[in-house]
Amino acid sequence: MHFQSDEEIHAIGTGLLDRTLPKLAWTHAAHLAAAAWLLADRPDIDAQAELPGIIRAYNEATGTANTDSGGYHHTITLASLRAVADFLGRQPAGTPLHVACEQLLLSPYGNKSWLTQYWTAEVLFSKDARLGWIEPDRASLPF
C-alpha cells in the first residue's frame, strides 16, 4: 500500500503547495495523490488553471529546471488531472481519500504508461506537448 491515511495525502498536497515535499517523494503516486487532494479537499484552488504553476514552482524550489525537454509537462499534467477527476467522480460517496487513491493506483492510471494508449511517444514527449495541451493522436480520452 502507498497510503495509510488521508493525512498522508494531505501532507503530499500541502508539501507540494508550500514546496516542502522532498524531491524524492515526488513520485507518480504522489503526483496522482496531490491531484486527488486538490480536487477533493481544495475547492478554493482551480486545479486545471493553477496546477501548472504550482508544479513549476515546486520544481524550481527542488532544483528541477522547467525547460523544453524537462521538468513540467503540460499535456501529461492535464490528462492526469482529468483522469483523477473522472476516477474520483466514480467513487462511492464517503470513500476516504486515501482509499480512493489506493484504488486509483491499482487502476490503469496507476501505471505511468497509461498515456501511451492515447498518444504516441513521439507526440506525447514532444516539446509542444510539454509546453501546451496536445490532443491525443491514438485514441480519444474516455472522459
In this prediction, residues 17-25 reach a mean pLDDT of: 98
What are 89-121's pLDDT values in tens digits? 999 999 999 999 999 999 999 999 999 999 999
CA 28 → CA 43, 110, 139, distances in Å? 23, 8, 23
% of the chain with per-residue pLDDT over 70: 100
Instruction: Quote the CA–CA distance of 37 and 102 in Å, as a whole number.
Output: 13
Residue 142 maps to a domain: no
Residue 43 maps to a domain: yes
Per-residue pLDDT for 83 more than 90? yes
- Structurally, the chain folds into a number of domains equal to 1
Residue 41's domain spans which residues? 6-131
This prediction's pTM: 0.96
Per-residue pLDDT for 1 more than 90? no
* Average pLDDT, rounded, for the chain: 97
